[in-house]
Amino acid sequence: MNPARYKKDFDKITEELRSFAYSYLEKYSPSKQQLKTYLFKKILTRYKSYLNKKMIFNMIDEIINSLEKKSLVSDKYYSESRSKTFLKRGYSLNKIRYALIKKGVEEKYINSSILKIKEDNPDSDFFSAIKLCKRKRIGAVREEGNRELFYKKDMSILARSGFSFEISKSVLSLSKNEFLKLSKLV
């Protein structure tokens, strides 16, 4: 293989990856892992047998590092913004942690964003459970006659959403008036 030709191809592929990264960043606010996966898929579809995977990962890491230096990609910012969004939707802290792990965010950023949530609102799980009950129409939102019939089902919905047994039990035991007062605070 001619080294001069290879250098030109390498520069061409790098510029193409960089343009893919910029266009992806215009549309979305991804974590580093999401951007890395996107770029890897893009380059594999274009140049299947042309490059080896180690070289592709090196190019992608170089591009992501340059974007990180320019503050266009930041796992810290991504973790904080997504955790706030998830909290507004009524996610428990456990579910927020799991969602961020799935997105490839580093553990230190996840811990710092969850710690920040706990400092801002120590009862965040309780109020998130109230939001979930309101959205799913379970617990105190149900008719009084049906609450006992659907208690196990409501408890399982809250458990699958990552809430502890104590929080689930306390939210489901609220009266309708208490629930309405607390849901106005949220």
Tell me how far apart the alpha carbons of residues 57 and 161 are, in angstroms, rounded to a whole number. 35
Q: Where are the alpha helices (DSSP H) in the chain?
A: 3-27, 32-46, 53-69, 75-89, 93-102, 107-120, 124-136, 144-147, 151-160, 165-172, 176-185
Give the residue among 95, 94, 83 at the shortest CA–CA distance from 31. Answer: 83
Same domain membership, residue 56 and residue 90: no
Q: Who's near 33: CB < 8 A, 6+ residues apart?
A: 103, 104, 105
Among residues of the chain, what percentage have pLDDT more than 90?
64
pLDDT recorded at residue 4 = 42
Last residue of a domain, one of 69, 86, 111: 69
Same domain membership, residue 82 and residue 37: no
More confidently predicted of 4 and 79: 79
Domain containing 112: what range?
75-120
Same domain membership, residue 47 and residue 18: yes
pLDDT recorded at residue 6 = 56
145-154 residue pLDDT tens: 888 899 999 9
Number of domains in the chain: 3
C-alpha triplet 79, 130, 81: angle, nearest 5°: 15
Q: What is the mean pLDDT of residues 170-180?
A: 91
Same domain membership, residue 128 and residue 111: no
Same domain membership, residue 16 and residue 59: yes
Same domain membership, residue 63 and residue 8: yes
Last residue of a domain, one of 120, 135, 156: 120
Question: Cβ distance 174 to 141 under 8 Å?
Answer: no
Same domain membership, residue 153 and residue 113: no
> Model confidence at 7, in pLDDT bands (50, 70, 90)?
low
> Model confidence at 51, in pLDDT bands (50, 70, 90)?
low
> Model confidence at 49, in pLDDT bands (50, 70, 90)?
low
Same domain membership, residue 143 and residue 92: no
The reported pTM is 0.82
Same domain membership, residue 45 and residue 88: no
Q: What is the mean pLDDT of residues 25-33?
A: 92
Structure-token match 């193409």, residue found:
16
Same domain membership, residue 39 and residue 53: yes
The sign of the torsion formed by the CA atoms of 140, 143, 148, 150 equals negative
- Terminal Cα-to-Cα distance of the chain (whole angstroms): 65
